[in-house]
Amino acid sequence: MSNAIARRLEAIQTKGAMRSSDVANVLNVRPETVSRWNKGKALPHASTEKQLLELEFVIDKLADIYEPHDARLWLFARQRLLDDQVPAELIQQGRVDEVLASVNQLLDGVHL
């Protein structure tokens, strides 16, 4: 994995135990597209790249709290701090700031 996008994908996989299909679902692309990015055969569109970087940022922060598989489960489960919404779906909708706010609350030790 030599390209920058591949390194980001590797970080997401390592810290968040996310599969290519998980990343594809969050970013609204096909798993084959993620595979092409990983191999350096294609690059994401600018808006998708921004979403990918946001996802990596969230995963990186979650890694301070959770083991990789627990971070993945947190992303795909309803969360009380997000009014029972699913973080991955919020990221998909471009609402990453709400997700980051709840992660920051977790990091600060604020639990409801």
Q: Report pLDDT digits (tens) over 54-86.
A: 999 999 999 999 999 999 999 999 999 999 999
Does residue 112 form part of some domain?
Answer: no
| Residue 88 pLDDT exceeds 60 | yes
Does residue 15 form part of some domain?
Answer: yes
Cβ contact 60:11 at 8 Å: yes
Does residue 90 form part of some domain?
Answer: yes
Which residues span the domain enclosing 61?
Answer: 4-107
* Average per-residue pLDDT for the chain: 94
Which of 86, 85, 98, 73 lies closest to 16, judged by CA? 73
Q: Total domain count for the chain? A: 1
Does residue 40 form part of some domain?
Answer: yes
85/89 Cα distance (integer angstroms): 8
- Tens digit of pLDDT for each residue in 22-54? 999 999 999 999 999 999 999 999 999 999 999
